Amino acid sequence: MTARALVDRGSTLVGLVLVAAIFGALVGPQFFAPANLELMARQTAIVGMAALGMTMVIVAGGIDLSVGSVIALSTVVIALLLKGHRGPWAAALGGVAASAICGLANGLLITRLRVVPFIVTLGTMLVVRGAAKGLADERRIEAPATWLNDLLRSGAHGTTAILPPGIWLVIGLALLVSGVLGYTRFGRRLFAIGSNERMARLCGVRVERCKVAVYAAAAAFAGAGGVLQFSKLSVGDPTVAVGLELDVIAAVIIGGGSLLGGRGTVAGTLVGATIMTLIQIGCSQKGLPNWVQQLVTGGIIIGAVALDRVRSARS
Amino acid sequence: MKGPAEAGHSGRGSPEGGHDVENPRFEMRGIKKTFGATVALDGVDLSVRAGEVLALVGQNGAGKSTLMAILAGALASDSGAMRIDGRRFTPRSPLESRRAGIATIYQELSLAPHLSVMENILLGMEPARFGLLDWPRMRDTAARALAELGHDEIDPGARVETLSVAAQQLVEIARALASGCRVLVLDEPTSSLGRDDVARLFALVRRLKAQGRAIVYISHFIEEVKAIADRFVVLRDGRHAGGGDIAAATPDAIIGMMVGREVADLFPRSPRRRGAAILDVDGLEPGSATFTLHRGEILGIAGLIGAGRTRLLRTIFGLEPVRRGHVRIATYSGACPPDERWKQGAGLLSEDRKAEGLAPGLTVADNLTLTRLDPFGPAGLVSPARQHETARRWISTLGIRCAGAAQAAAELSGGNQQKVALARLLHHDVDLLILDEPTRGIDVASKAQIYALIDALVADTPGRPAKAVLVVSSYLPELVGLCDRVAVMCRGTLGAARDATRVTEHELMMAATGAEAPSSAP
């Protein structure tokens, strides 16, 4: 691990501690009560899951605006499959697979048409949202109760695990993505593509293939986020997670990712997602109105990027 | 060798001594600058008079860029003073420096490509009436500025992106003049120019000199400095390492001051033995190229910028499509993408270090090892520890100056970046090295190291098959000194290869400029 990466992570972590301390002081000690911490973890899980994939995309110098729509599609597919008497495993995998196909389409459009990812995914954001609404006939889809509904519920099935299984899933996949980025050829190549695509091509990296893979993976993570979203709602909802892509991107950026590519860490991203949750929960528990929440979150995003500029200018 | 304080006589015959008798237009005295523990500049003096061209030479890392950044107001010096026309001058920003009459033309031009020539020339000081742009006056002013340069062929209304690099440079110089600059700093102005453009630029510099402007000319090319400057100053390790009247200094002496020692032999030549053919090019288009390269051999390609040399290399390497003809590398025939080429044992060093050669944000280790990560772990895994260990080995083998394998490539000097890019080919252990301008924009010491390295790769060594090198360069002494054979490319056509020991730079230049039929070689 490089010293620079440690500093990068460190400062995001300092931000987290600061935000926690401020709201701790405002709200009181109950802010740090185990139940409240678990609430925060549950709240972070969906954005965090989607942000794992977004971290890879942003490291590779891309962006994916379609993740919010993909999450909604995933919940719809899951609900439809459950309604069709498929098992919860099949339903969840179906949701993830449908999402991965959306990502595959993103990747193919970006590499074949050579259109910038911002535009392609802006388009697929609408297309996928439309598809989800069409599939669901513009309604919420009720589905029979299964263990999928308990993924984010603590103490379900009398388990003794400290955290709900959905959170463990996020943590496990976070370790996986972190390992992929840091310790595999694929991961190192993503950094190379994001940092200098022409160089990557010269060095024999199959840039197109990597990009398709990374967009498919990112959408699959969004689909897994959709599984958690379904668990929270216990229905398939084609209108859920509108604008969530911006929270996901913000988490990566607060966590030290660069929209220019070549930078980003999973740990930073998760800390970034947690900071945003703290602000949301802190504001609502302090009884602050929504607009204050938005002011603070926006300020944090700009502050994080400004801090990063200052840091890189100094080095 | 002349000492720095020794008097010479400038072209105008005015006396000049340890300090200038005639008032300098611009002077720097005792400039010091440190970055942390590193002393970048240690009491540097420099002065330039009106109507004089002062060359500033030195290796990369000698402190030239820092000195120029202080002059341009981008950095503040720790101590020392600057004066313009005798008046104390301490710019706190680049804008203040420009307002005081100092204009710097950097290697990377700073123009707005989508705007017209006149808009670029008058950017920030557009004539306006009632808030509306006064287009006729803009056109007039711009046209006058261009005419003053003797280049009224440039249309003030043309979009800058449609112009050649040389013309863009002129636009930038015109902008400097239009803003009333008193001191013009040219930083490596010829690095991206062809020979004709260089000649035109020199004519322009002489014209500006005759107009009484003070010019600071920064260059790696000693021949250029000899041709254009009146006086020179050599920086080495942040100190004034020599200088004086350019007419009295030999190129050897100047290089000696730059490197701190006499350059013994820039181009070593170990015994070489021609081995098996490794690259076979037959009627390849683009490039109209036919040649065979063997192990233990260096084949050079000379030619002007824009002659199509880079395109030929990129086509061989699979970065651009083969239109016609045939390429064979080792036993592999036909066009292949770059990833196949690397697997076949060929590696390409790009001419454009920033845009294609390196990933600036990534570490030295990542840059160095990207093409071959498989030794660092099984099944697609990469152990950063082993990756860094390998990188450290190359860092010490090639003497790459950096803080460590984890330092970002962008933070290295040009010469060291180039060594990293070259080390990538060595780490991959390619048999065929395709090098595009391997020493462009790097200092003499790094050049010497790279020459020695290339020579060692093709040397006849028992127990190790020699490599083969295909090298494109615009620097003719380099091709003649390094290569076994040299072919010349002219207007998209590659001529026959000539024996490098028998060809002269003059002959190569004749062929490159089309003054001689390119394929008249034996």
pLDDT band at B393 (very low <50, low <70, confident <90, very high): very high
Q: Is A262 on the interface with B (CB under 8 A)?
A: yes
Q: Of A185, A263, A315, which is closest to B373 when you measure between CB atoms?
A: A185
**Mean pLDDT on B14-41:** 69
Write the pLDDT tens digit of every residue in A264-275: 999 999 999 999
Q: Could you tell me which residue, B125 or B172, shows the higher pLDDT?
A: B172
Find the angle CA(A289)-CA(A292)-CA(A295) to the nearest 5 degrees.
Answer: 155
List, in order, residues 6 or more apart from A63 with CB less than 8 Å away: A57, A117, A118, A121, A249, A259
| Cβ distance of B361 and A189 shorter than 8 Å | no
- Chain B nearest-CA distance from A264, in A, is 12
Write the pLDDT tens digit of every residue in B253-262: 887 787 665 4
Taking alpha carbons only, the member of B476, B467, B429, B421 closest to residue B446 is B421
**Mean pLDDT on B20-32:** 80
Residues in chain A, total: 315
* Superfamily holding B277-512: P-loop containing nucleotide triphosphate hydrolases (3.40.50.300)
Domain ranges of chain B: 1-101+182-199+207-261, 110-180, 277-512
Q: Of A182, A184, A206, which is closest to B380 when you measure between CB atoms?
A: A184
Confidence at residue B328, expressed as pLDDT on a 0 to 100 scale: 94
CA distances from residue A172 to A155, A178, A270, B442 in whole angstroms, order as listed = 19, 10, 12, 48
Please state the φ and ψ torsions of residue A141, each to the nearest 5 degrees. Answer: -110, 115
Q: How far apart are CA A274 and CA A255, in angstroms?
A: 10
pLDDT above 80: residue B372: yes
Q: What is the DSSP string of chain A?
A: --HHHHHHHHHHHHHHHHHHHHHHHHH-GGGGSHHHHHHHHHHHHHHHHHHHHHHHHHHTT---TTHHHHHHHHHHHHHHHHHTT--HHHHHHHHHHHHHHHHHHHHHHHHHH---HHHHHHHHHHHHHHHHHHHTTTS-EE----GGGGTT-TTGGG---SS-HHHHHHHHHHHHHHHHHHHBHHHHHHHHHHH-HHHHHHTT--HHHHHHHHHHHHHHHHHHHHHHHHHHHSEE-TTTTTTHHHHHHHHHHHTT--TTSS---HHHHHHHHHHHHHHHHHHHHHT--HHHHHHHHHHHHHHHHHHHHHHHHH-
Structure token digits, residue B347? 């590696």
pLDDT band at B18 (very low <50, low <70, confident <90, very high): very low
Confidence at residue B447, expressed as pLDDT on a 0 to 100 scale: 84
Structure token digits, residue B283? 């009627």
| Cβ distance of B370 and A2 shorter than 8 Å | no
Q: How far apart are CA A297 and CA A290, in angstroms?
A: 11
Please state the φ and ψ torsions of residue B45, each to the nearest 5 degrees. Answer: -110, 145
Confidence at residue B412, expressed as pLDDT on a 0 to 100 scale: 86
Residue type, B359: A
**Neighbouring-strand partners of residue B105:** B186
**Neighbouring-strand partners of residue B485:** B299, B499
Confidence at residue B516, expressed as pLDDT on a 0 to 100 scale: 56
Find the angle CA(B235)-CA(B238)-CA(B239) to the nearest 5 degrees.
Answer: 60
> Please, which residues 344-373 of chain B have a Cβ atom closer than 8 Å to chain A?
348, 350, 355-363, 366, 370-371, 373
Taking alpha carbons only, the member of A83, A134, A117 closest to residue A249 is A117
Confidence at residue B411, expressed as pLDDT on a 0 to 100 scale: 85
Confidence at residue B518, expressed as pLDDT on a 0 to 100 scale: 44
| CB atoms near residue A14 (< 10 Å) | 12
Label residue A248 exposed, middle or buried (CB < 10 Å: 0-12, 13-18, 19+): buried
| CB atoms near residue A211 (< 10 Å) | 23
Structure token digits, residue B501? 């020991």
Q: With contacts defined as CB-CB under 8 Å, which chain A residues touch B406?
A: 2-4
Taking alpha carbons only, the member of B248, B205, B401, B418 closest to residue B219 is B205
> Could you tell me the pTM of the whole model?
0.76
Q: Would you put residue B324 in left (φ > 0), alpha (ψ -120 to 50) or beta?
A: beta
Q: Of A185, A201, A315, which is closest to B338 when you measure between CB atoms?
A: A201
- Look over chain A and give the mean of its residue pLDDT values, rounded to a whole number: 89
Residue type, A114: R
Write the pLDDT tens digit of every residue in B285-302: 888 899 999 999 999 999
Percent of chain B with pLDDT over 70: 91
Q: Could you tell me which residue, B363 or A8, shows the higher pLDDT?
A: B363
| Cβ distance of A185 and B383 shorter than 8 Å | no
Write the pLDDT tens digit of every residue in B298-346: 999 998 777 889 999 999 999 999 999 999 999 999 889 999 999 999 9
Q: How far apart are CA A167 and CA A45, in angstroms?
A: 6
**Mean pLDDT on B449-470:** 91
Interface-testing mutation among A203, A263, A265, with chain B (most B C-beta atoms within 10 A): A203
Confidence at residue A312, expressed as pLDDT on a 0 to 100 scale: 64
Q: Of B319, B363, B384, which is closest to A202 when you measure between CB atoms?
A: B319
Q: How far apart are CA A269 and CA A170, in angstroms?
A: 12
Q: What is the DSSP letter of B23?
A: P
| CB atoms near residue A178 (< 10 Å) | 18
Percent of chain A with pLDDT over 90: 62
Write the pLDDT tens digit of every residue in A57-73: 999 999 999 999 999 99
Q: How far apart are CA A257 and CA A264, in angstroms?
A: 4
Residue type, B368: L
Q: Is B381 on the interface with A (CB under 8 A)?
A: yes
A194: nearest CA partner in chain B: B359
Q: How far apart are CA A142 and CA A236, in angstroms?
A: 7
Q: Is B503 on the interface with A (CB under 8 A)?
A: no
A11 and A267 Cβ atoms separated by less than 8 Å: no
Percent of chain A with pLDDT over 70: 93
pLDDT above 50: residue B521: no
> Whose structure tokens read 């003794």?
A160
pLDDT band at B1 (very low <50, low <70, confident <90, very high): very low
Q: How far apart are CA B104 and CA B69, in angstroms?
A: 9
| Cβ distance of A191 and B362 shorter than 8 Å | yes
Confidence at residue A54, expressed as pLDDT on a 0 to 100 scale: 97
What's the N-to-C CA distance of chain B in angstroms?
A: 43
Interface-testing mutation among A4, A186, A190, A199, with chain B (most B C-beta atoms within 10 A): A199
pLDDT above 60: residue A160: no
pLDDT above 50: residue B440: yes
Q: Of B338, B340, B380, which is closest to A202 when you measure between CB atoms?
A: B338
Structure token digits, residue B228? 């254009």
Q: Is B436 on the interface with A (CB under 8 A)?
A: no
B366: nearest CA partner in chain A: A188
Residue type, B14: S
**Three-state DSSP class for B352?**
coil
Residue type, A184: T
Q: What is the DSSP letter of B44?
A: E
| CB atoms near residue B423 (< 10 Å) | 23
Peptide bond into B286 cis (omega under 30): yes
Handedness of CA B237, B243, B246, B247 (dihedral sign): negative
Structure token digits, residue B124? 């920030």
Q: How far apart are CA B417 and CA B432, in angstroms?
A: 21
B41 and B79 Cβ atoms separated by less than 8 Å: no
| Cβ distance of A3 and B406 shorter than 8 Å | yes
Confidence at residue B317, expressed as pLDDT on a 0 to 100 scale: 95
Confidence at residue B37, expressed as pLDDT on a 0 to 100 scale: 59
B435 and B470 Cβ atoms separated by less than 8 Å: yes
| Cβ distance of A199 and B373 shorter than 8 Å | no
Q: Is B198 on the interface with A (CB under 8 A)?
A: no
Write the pLDDT tens digit of every residue in B490-518: 888 899 999 988 887 778 877 877 665 44
pLDDT above 80: residue B13: no
Specify the CATH number for B1-101+182-199+207-261; select among 3.40.50.300, 3.30.750.24, 3.30.70.260, 3.40.470.10.
Answer: 3.40.50.300
| Cβ distance of B373 and A1 shorter than 8 Å | no
Task: For residue B456, give the H/E element and its range.
Answer: helix B444-458
**Mean pLDDT on B273-284:** 93
> Whose structure tokens read 């729509």?
A69
Confidence at residue A1, expressed as pLDDT on a 0 to 100 scale: 45
pLDDT band at B92 (very low <50, low <70, confident <90, very high): confident
pLDDT band at B2 (very low <50, low <70, confident <90, very high): very low
Percent of chain B with pLDDT over 90: 36
| CB atoms near residue A124 (< 10 Å) | 25
pLDDT above 70: residue B263: no
Label residue A168 exposed, middle or buried (CB < 10 Å: 0-12, 13-18, 19+): middle
pLDDT above 60: residue B12: no
Domain ranges of chain A: 49-267
> Whose structure tokens read 């379900």?
A156
Structure token digits, residue B131? 């808030």
List, in order, residues 6 or more apart from A91 with CB less than 8 Å away: A77, A78, A79, A81, A82, A143, A146, A148
Confidence at residue A156, expressed as pLDDT on a 0 to 100 scale: 52
Label residue B443 exposed, middle or buried (CB < 10 Å: 0-12, 13-18, 19+): buried
B353: nearest CA partner in chain A: A199
pLDDT above 50: residue B5: no
**Neighbouring-strand partners of residue B231:** B54, B245
Q: How far apart are CA B257 and CA B234, in angstroms?
A: 7
Q: Is A2 on the interface with B (CB under 8 A)?
A: yes
- Look over chain B and give the mean of its residue pLDDT values, rounded to a whole number: 85
Q: Cα–chain-centroid distance for residue A221? A: 7
List, in order, residues 6 or more apart from A253 with CB less than 8 Å away: A58, A259, A272, A301, A304, A305
Write the pLDDT tens digit of every residue in A23-58: 888 888 888 888 888 888 888 999 999 999 999 999
pLDDT above 60: residue A292: yes
**Neighbouring-strand partners of residue B488:** B302
Greatest extent of chain A over all pairs of C-alpha atoms, in Å: 60
Q: Of A188, A204, A262, which is closest to B382 when you measure between CB atoms?
A: A188
Q: How far apart are CA A66 and CA A69, in angstroms?
A: 5
